[in-house]
Chain A
C-alpha cells in the first residue's frame, strides 16, 4: 500500500459515512485531465498578470495555516455593481466549513481590509469563524470599518497594524421611510445584533461602544468614531498592535497550545 492509499484508507476509517471526506481517485475515466497541460500555461500567464511572478511560492510553506482575506465590500444577498471590489459570502462560508473539516489545516489567519458591507453576510462569516474549533487570528491592515468590526473581533486573537483604521458607527439608511417608530425599532434591533457580537467577543464595554458609536464630534456627515491602530487596542476592541510576523507567531503559538491540550 503506498502513502496515498494509506492516507485514503485513514480518511475513510475516520469518516466512514461521510462521502465529503473521502479522497477522490487521482484519475477517473471520463474526466478531462487532458486539459491540465494547457491549464498550467494559462495559470502561469494569469499569475504574471495578477501577481507579477510566474509561480506563487507555496511549496516551501507549511500548509497547516489557511490564510483568508476579506477585502472591499462584504457582499451578501444582493450582487453589488461591478465597480465594487467585494468578498462574497457564498465563497467564504463553505471554505470555512472545509477548513474546519480539514485534517491538514490547524489554524486560520484572517486578513482584513474592508470598508464594511452587508450586515447579515458579515455577521454570518463572523459567527462561523467564532464557532470554529481551530485557532484563528485576525490582522487588520488598512481598514476594518463598520461590519468589519465584528469580523475583526471574531477570532481568538486580533492584531491591528499601527496605521490601520476602524470606523465605529451605527447602521443607517437613506430613502423613503414608512412608519418612523417601527423603522427605528427595527434598526435598533439590527444595531443590537452587531453591538452584542462585538461586546461578546472583545473586551470593550457596552457603554464605551455606545459612546464611540454615537460620537458627534469626529465625523462631518455621520455619527461615530475613527480609531487608528493603538486607539482600537486602548478601547478594548483589538488585542494588540502588530503586523504579519506578530499575527503568524501568535497563531503558531495557539496551534501549539491546541495540540498540547488535544493530547
Chain B
C-alpha cells in the first residue's frame, strides 16, 4: 500500500499500536451492517454490508449514524 499524501507518515501511523475497535455484525431493518457498540442500547454504524445499492443511499443507515439496538449476549 502506498500513501500519496502531504501528511508525514509518522503522524499518520502515530497510534497504530492502539487496540483496534471491536465491531459487531448485525441485521437492522433487513440491512446487514457492521456496527460499533456505543452503550447498552446504542450502536454506531461502521459499515453497511449489503449488495442492495438502495441501502447505500438511505440516509438513516449511513456510516456514523447511531441506532437504537439492544445487543444480545450472543452478539
Contacts and interface: CB of A to CB of B under 8 A. Distances in A.
Interface residues of A, number: 56
A20 B51 contact: yes
A73 B5 contact: yes
B72 interface: no
B4 A116 contact: yes
Contact of B3 (A66, A79, A117, A167): A117
Interface string A1-31: 0000000000000000001110010001001
B28 A76 contact: no
Interface of B: 1-7, 9, 12-16, 18, 20-21, 28-30, 42, 47-48, 51-54, 56-57, 59-60, 63, 65-69
- Between A33, A81, A99, the greatest number of chain B beta carbons within 10 A of the residue's beta carbon is seen for A81
B73 to A, nearest CB: 18
Given A82-B15, A146-B5, 12 more contacts: A24-B54, A35-B68, A38-B68, A46-B65, A58-B59, A84-B12, A88-B47, A91-B63, A94-B48, A120-B1, A147-B4, A187-B2
A117 B4 contact: yes
A53 B21 CA distance: 29
Contacts of A46: 65-66
Contact of A98 (B3, B7, B57): B57
A66 B2 CA distance: 30
Interface stretch (A125-133, A168-176, A235-243): A168-176
Contacts, number: 117
Contact of A99 (B6, B29, B57, B68): B57
Given A42-B67, A43-B60, A115 B54 contact: no
Given A20-B53, A32-B28, A98-B56, A171 B1 contact: no
Main secondary structure of the interface of A (DSSP, over half): mixed
B18 A82 contact: yes
Nearest to B53: A98
A55 interface: no
Contacts of A98: 53-54, 56-57
A117 B4 CA distance: 5
Contacts of A31: 29-30
Contacts of B2: 118-120, 171, 173, 187, 190
> When A and B form their complex, which 4 residue pairs have the shortest distance between CB atoms, in order from nearest?
A116-B5, A98-B53, A81-B15, A147-B4
B4 A81 contact: no
Contacts of A200: none
